[in-house]
Amino acid sequence: MALNTQTSGALGGAAQGAATGFKLSGGNPIGAAVGALAGGLLGGLTGGSDKKAKRLAGLQADLIRRTAQENQRRAELEMGQVLGYGRAAIAAGNLLETGSSRNYMNQLRSQFQQDIEWERVKAQMEEKAARMGGQITAGQIQARGLSSMIGGFQQAAVAFGPIFSSKPKGG
């Protein structure tokens, strides 16, 4: 099971809170307990940003995909209208849709299709980049949370070290 940022925040906050409470209370264990409780609650409540980063990236990727789909729909509609106007203009000029007029219409259709395909591929790349960005951000948040937790434990070790390393009296 991976350590999430809420857990690492709670553990690190508890350790840091215990160390701070112990120092502020002049070495009283009740001060350490109160500090641990407060730090643990605060650390746990402020964690979870990694999940939020992933969720936000997912929403951004969905927006990119939906926007691209709508843009593709509009481009296909525009292509149909432009090609229809072209055929109407050819017919209105008493021309047959052969030779150069057919060649022009085919080139126009081909360009529209290439543009639509490029926009589709570009949107897929943007969607993937947004999702990957969320994963990277979440990983960075998790790493910072773990680092903070280790820092909290280090503070607790410094604060409580003399208690555990002192020799018993009379020994």
- One DSSP character per residue, 27-67 reads S-HHHHHHHHHHHHHHHHHH--HHHHHHHHHHHHHHHHHHH
End-to-end CA distance of the chain: 44
| Strand, helix or coil for residue 75 | helix
Q: Name the residue with tokens 């000029």.
A: 93
Query: Confidence band (pLDDT; 50, 70, 90) for 159?
Result: confident
Which is more confidently placed, 111 or 135?
111
In the chain, % of residues over pLDDT 90: 25
Which is more confidently placed, 128 or 43?
128
- Mean local confidence (pLDDT), 20-24: 78
pTM given for the model: 0.61
Q: Does the pLDDT of residue 155 top 80, yes or no?
A: no
- Structure tokens, 123: 């949107």
Angle at 133 between CA 132 and CA 138, to 5 degrees: 100
Mean pLDDT of the chain: 81
